[in-house]
Amino acid sequence: MTSEFVFATAQYDSGDWDSAPLLPANIIDTIARYTEIPVAPTGVVVALSDDRMLRYPLLYLTGHLPVRFSDAERRNVKRFVERGGMLFVDDHNHDIDGVFHKTATEEIARTIAPLSELPNEHPLFSAFFKFDGPPATSHELNGWGDNLVHKHLLAVRRAAGNRIAVLFSNKDYSSEWNYHPESKRFLTVDNTRFAVNLVVYALTA
3-class secondary structure, 45: strand
In the complex, least distance from residue 6 CB atom to another protein, rounded to whole angstroms: 12
3-class secondary structure, 68: coil
CB-wise, 79 or 180, nearer to another protein?
180
In the complex, least distance from residue 22 CB atom to another protein, rounded to whole angstroms: 6
The Cα angle at residue 136 between residues 122 and 182, in degrees rounded to 5: 110
CB-wise, 28 or 104, nearer to another protein?
28
CB-wise, 151 or 180, nearer to another protein?
180
Between CA 90 and CA 171 the distance in angstroms is 7
Interface residues with another protein (CB under 8 A)? 21-22, 25, 28-29, 32-34, 39, 41-42, 129, 180-181, 185-190, 193
Length of the chain: 205
CB-wise, 27 or 112, nearer to another protein?
27
In the complex, least distance from residue 31 CB atom to another protein, rounded to whole angstroms: 9
In the complex, least distance from residue 5 CB atom to another protein, rounded to whole angstroms: 11
Furthest C-alpha separation in the chain: 45
Residue 63: name the closest of 30, 89, 85, 33 by CA: 89
